């Protein structure tokens, strides 16, 4: 519990935790719209593509990557959803809090520092990753697409992936002055990654050059890890590399976001 000394100096929750709390509080007031979509999206996709399209695929090729199409697709979609949510949380909302509703400036007039504001934002993106991946896993279980107890580790992987996706996006949102850049980010970043990161089909289906290109992008590594966990089929060397890649990407993203926030908010 927070203590107030006689001089009004505050000892208690760390300042970054106050910023994080504010995101949660805000969400608790406006969550109703988003929760249906977080349930609906996995249900609709898994029903249409996993079951509908999957039946057709399985009929022709028997298995994809050695498993039913639904089992192959579901973890890919889960990772893709984390990407979308992380990017959504870090584009317009970040620009709005800097430029439009300016709530970051309100936070900076209080004991909070620029780094607290950033930690609050990225921490919230990570919490959203937990929420989204838990819901998605639950839906997957209902569809019978979870095949290993290792699947519980999807949640920490989702946290790491959320940070890896949210941090560079945040750096971009805090650097760009116009929102036009976001449309380009979705068109040439999010959508191609979503389609070509072994989400819908194995990487082996792609030409060699594109396969190497895909190795450089972060979503593929999240897909590899999450798929390995829900299928219970980990490939140690590959998956350790996936993990290292995501950690490296997240660290780089955080450093860039920190620099961008400092440049934009300390003037």
Where on the chain is the footprint of other proteins (CB under 8 A)? 1-2, 4, 8-10, 12-13, 15, 18-19, 21-22, 25-26, 29-30, 101-103, 105-113, 266-267
Cβ of residue 239: shortest distance to other proteins, in angstroms? 40
For residue 239, give the 3-state DSSP assignment.
helix
Tell me 99's DSSP state.
I
Cβ of residue 20: shortest distance to other proteins, in angstroms? 11
Q: Which residues partner with 4 through β-bridges?
A: 10
Cβ of residue 113: shortest distance to other proteins, in angstroms? 6
* Nearest residue (CB) to other proteins, 44 versus 106: 106
Cβ of residue 28: shortest distance to other proteins, in angstroms? 10
106-125 in b/e form (b: 16+ CB < 10 A) is: ebbeeebbbebbbbbbbbbb
| Structure token digits, residue 52 | 């509908």
Q: Pick from 127, 123, 126, 105: which is nearest to 114 by CA?
A: 105
* Nearest residue (CB) to other proteins, 209 versus 267: 267
* Nearest residue (CB) to other proteins, 110 versus 238: 110
Cβ of residue 12: shortest distance to other proteins, in angstroms? 5
* Nearest residue (CB) to other proteins, 91 versus 197: 91
* Nearest residue (CB) to other proteins, 103 versus 148: 103
| Structure token digits, residue 137 | 């896993």
| Structure token digits, residue 35 | 């929760």
Q: Pick from 79, 112, 73, 109: which is nearest to 201 by CA?
A: 73
Burial level of 43, CB count in 10 A (0-12/13-18/19+)? middle
* Nearest residue (CB) to other proteins, 29 versus 60: 29
155-197-87-260 Cα dihedral, nearest 10 degrees: 100
Contact criterion met (CB below 8 Å) for 79 and 223: yes
Distance CA 60, CA 126 (A): 39
Helix axes 114-142, 236-265, angle to 10 degrees: 140
Cβ of residue 33: shortest distance to other proteins, in angstroms? 11
Cβ of residue 112: shortest distance to other proteins, in angstroms? 6
Cβ of residue 144: shortest distance to other proteins, in angstroms? 39
* Nearest residue (CB) to other proteins, 30 versus 149: 30
């Amino acid at each position: 519990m927070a203590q107030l000394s006689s001089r009004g100096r505050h000892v208690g929750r760390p300042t970054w935790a106050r910023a994080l709390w504010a995101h949660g509080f805000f969400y608790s007031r406006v969550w109703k719209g988003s929760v249906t979509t977080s349930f609906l999206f996995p249900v609709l996709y898994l029903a249409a593509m996993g079951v509908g399209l999957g039946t057709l695929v399985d009929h022709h090729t028997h298995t994809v990557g050695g498993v039913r199409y639904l089992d192959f697709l579901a973890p890919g979609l889960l990772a893709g959803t984390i990407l979308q949510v992380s990017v959504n949380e870090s584009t317009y909302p970040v620009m709005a809090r800097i430029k439009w509703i300016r709530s970051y400036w309100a936070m900076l007039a209080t004991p909070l520092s620029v780094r607290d504001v950033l930690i609050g934002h990225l921490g919230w993106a990570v919490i959203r990753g937990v929420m989204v991946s838990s819901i998605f896993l639950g839906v997957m279980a209902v569809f019978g697409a979870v095949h290993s107890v290792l699947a519980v580790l999807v949640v920490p992987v989702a946290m790491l992936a959320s940070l890896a996706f949210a941090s560079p996006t945040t750096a971009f949102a805090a650097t760009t002055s116009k929102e036009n850049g976001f449309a380009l980010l979705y068109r040439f970043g999010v959508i191609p990654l979503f389609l070509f990161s072994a989400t819908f089909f194995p990487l082996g289906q792609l030409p060699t050059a594109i396969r190497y290109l895909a190795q450089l992008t972060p979503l593929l590594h999240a897909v590899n890890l999450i798929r390995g966990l829900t299928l219970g089929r980990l490939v140690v060397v590959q998956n350790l590399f996936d993990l290292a890649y995501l950690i490296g990407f997240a660290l780089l993203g955080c450093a860039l976001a920190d620099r961008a926030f400092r440049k934009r908010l300390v003037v």
